[in-house]
Every structure is written in C-alpha cells, then in structure tokens.
Structure 1
Amino acid sequence: MSHPWEPDRLLNVVDVEATCWRGPSPRDQTNEIIEIGLCVVDLVDRRRVARDRILVRPARSRVSAFCTELTGLTQAEVDAGVSFAEACRLLATRHQAGPRVWASWGDYDRLQFQRQCGATQVPYPFGARHVNAKAVFAQAYGLQRKMGMAGALRHVELPLEGRHHSGADDAWNIGALVLHTLAAGAWPGDPGAGAPAGDT
C-alpha cells in the first residue's frame, strides 16, 4: 500500500536488538525487543544530530548466553530497563515517532515492532512512512544482493563505529549509510527526490 510522501528534514533511524537463542527459541519464550537504538539524521544539514538508547525489560523471555555474546546485553541490564509499553511511549513523545519518517536496515525492525505491539496490545508507535534502508542502498549502488549493515559500510569504505549488534551503535552506523546514500543523490528523503524505494 502506498502513502503520500513528503520529505521531512529529520529522519529517525531505528535499530532493535531482541532476545535470541542459538537455534530455535524455547517453547515457553518468544523474541522480545530488549534494546532500541535511535539516530536522528538531519537530511538538510546532512549530519547525524542525536542518538538515543532505550533498554527494554522483557516480559516473556530471558536473555540467553548466546544473546549476551551477540549483543553484549545481560539479563541484569535489561531488567533495569523500561517496559515495552513505556519504550513505545518514549519513541512517540521524545522522538515524534508517529509523524516522523523512520528507517531501518531491512524489514526486521518494523515487523518485530508490529508483532510485539499486536501480541501485547501496545499501540504501534510509528507512522506509515518507513524506508527500508537496505533496499534503498542496494538499489543506489546497483547491488544484485542486499548487504548486511557491516558489509555495506565496507562497500563504501566507512568505518564501523562502536560495537556491531549494539542497537545504539548500529543505528548510528546506519545513519552514516543514510548520509552516504543521500550524498549519492539516491536517498528518498532528500527534498529533491521522489517517492521512497522500499516499503512505505
């Protein structure tokens, strides 16, 4: 379904980390968001202007040893986080998630929010205007296969800043890829561009 597209100055770049396991999830647990990383990109000044990290307390799962190895997050850390409902409220109030265009690297983040909001009856914090940055990047650079974030950084010779699979660091790095794509004239949020490639 398509929606009217009007470029905005500010873009929210979002990356989430969720509970995970080496292999199938345990029968009594389900994937839940435990970290929301966010980078605000100013598409006019062409710079990253803010970053945020929201730790989320899981209610239906535990942080596995594999999850800690991957993300660096421990059960104790996320136990000190906010509820998923509060995290969504913070996105709406602190970062204007409803009216503001947002982007993620692929569709996982959007779908995870939709699944978890549906399962917990928490209002979905985002509006309809979402950009699949992975798809935009692949189209911009003529790639036959979409790349992971780390591979995309290498492809355009940008450094990986911070820790991969940290939601806050990944959002910051995706923000750099957005700016690189914008500089190439291929980002849909550029005031001079048309409708976004990817899902809107």
Structure 2
Amino acid sequence: MARSLDVILVVDLESTCWEGSPPPGQTSEIIEIGLRTVDLKTLTRTEKRSFLVKPVLSEISEFCTELTTLTPDMLTDAGSLADAVKVLKKEYGSKDRLWASWGDYDRRQFERVCKDLNVGYPFGPSHLNVKSLFAAAMGSGHELGLDGAYKQLGLELEGTHHRGDDDAWNIAQILCRLLKTMRSDDDE
C-alpha cells in the first residue's frame, strides 16, 4: 500500500514519571497521546485530539501530576493503550502515514510500551524528528526543548506545556513554519 502524504500525524506523549528512578515494580508508561494533524496541502494544523490512557504498570506520582496536570482520578475511566492504538490505526490510517514528534523519545516510548503491553505498534516505519529538523533548519549546533525552540522563534507556547494535546499543537506549529519556509525557498 502506498504511503499517504496528505497529512502528517503530530504526536506528543505524556508518560508516568517520577523525580528520579521509578519505584520498584513500576515502569514509565504512556498516559496521554496528544495528536494533531497537519494538512500538507495548506500547511495548517487541523484536528486536535487527546487520548487518555489508563496506566496498568505504574501509578501517577505527585511529580507526574505537577508536571503534566494529569491526576489519577482523570485516568480512572480512561481507555487502554490498545483502545487508543485501534483508533490511531482505523481513524487516522497511522500505519500508512508519516508521523512526527519532538525528538525520538515518543517513538522509542511507543515501541517499548507497545512491546511491554503486547499491543501492536500503531505506526509504519516513517517517523519525522521535528526537534532535529528544527536544529538543522536553524543552523544550530544542538537541539532545543520545545519551549526553547518557541523562544528562539519569538513565540509563546499555547496551552499547558507537558500536556500531550497542547504540546502536539505547538510541535505542529513549528513543523508548519519549517515546511512553509522550505516551500517559499523553492519558489526562488
């Protein structure tokens, strides 16, 4: 099947986390999948979506709640990772689309957690690391965090930093800007 290049799926994950190493018997797992679609014809951010995922291998720490604003109560009735993966595959054709994230953490985390929970990986082989793309496009000698990239562009982050849906929205904004610049350079 041919790869669909009508949209890019921009993903940002939030995972259980601690101030330091995980407590014995716990492991970092996905608790939110933020998704934004970028229309490649218009280079605009389109749909905004958040999938909350109930953790099964760990608990939400106080540190995690402070960082992400996600509380254990918010995830009590959340779906499973398998539920979210099913929607990504069925509604977004994630296996056949280019997907992007800020850095490689999200790709590696998805691969690891899907393996740990015996859930099929929802994406195909094409992943775009927007963090590296931004550093290369800006001629920087190093990669920046999302907030640092926004500062470099003279922009302010929208929404709540370290919430998957808002961070995916902000990553998609940078991606759109980079692609618009690349296209306008082609016109010269």
What TM-score range do you get, normalising by the shorter chain?
Answer: over 0.9
Equivalent residue for 1:129, pick from 114, 118, 126: 126
Equivalent residue for 2:22, pick from 20, 25, 41: 25
Aligned counterparts of 1:60 and 1:134: Cα–Cα separation in 2: 29
Aligned counterparts of 2:22 and 2:150: Cα–Cα separation in 1: 30
Describe the superposition over 1:104-136 as per-residue Cα deviations: whole angstroms up to 9, x where unpaired: 000000000100111111110001110001001
Describe the superposition over 1:156-196 as per-residue Cα deviations: whole angstroms up to 9, x where unpaired: 1222100100000000000000011112208xxxxx7xxxx
Unmatched tracts of structure 2, length 5 or more: none
Aligned counterparts of 1:168 and 1:26: Cα–Cα separation in 2: 27
Equivalent residue for 1:184, pick from 159, 177, 181: 181
Runs of 4+ in structure 1 deviating by more than 6 angstroms, as ranges, are none
- Alignment map for 1:115-194 (pairs within 5 Å): 115-185=112-182
TM-score w.r.t. the length of structure 1 is 0.88
Aligned counterparts of 1:12 and 1:37: Cα–Cα separation in 2: 10
Report the counterpart of residue 69 of structure 2 in structure 1. 72
Aligned counterparts of 2:137 and 2:181: Cα–Cα separation in 1: 8
Residue 89 of structure 2 is aligned to residue 92 of structure 1: yes
The CA deviation at 1:7 is: 7.5
Report the counterpart of residue 189 of structure 1 in structure 2. none
Equivalent residue for 1:103, pick from 100, 104, 113: 100
Decide which moves more: 5-14 or 31-40: 5-14
Aligned counterparts of 1:140 and 1:25: Cα–Cα separation in 2: 36
Report the counterpart of residue 114 of structure 1 in structure 2. 111
Preserved contact between residue 4 and residue 97 of structure 2 (Cα < 8 Å): no
Report the counterpart of residue 81 of structure 1 in structure 2. 78
Preserved contact between residue 3 and residue 97 of structure 2 (Cα < 8 Å): no
Matched-pair identity in %: 45
Unmatched tracts of structure 1, length 5 or more: 187-191, 193-200
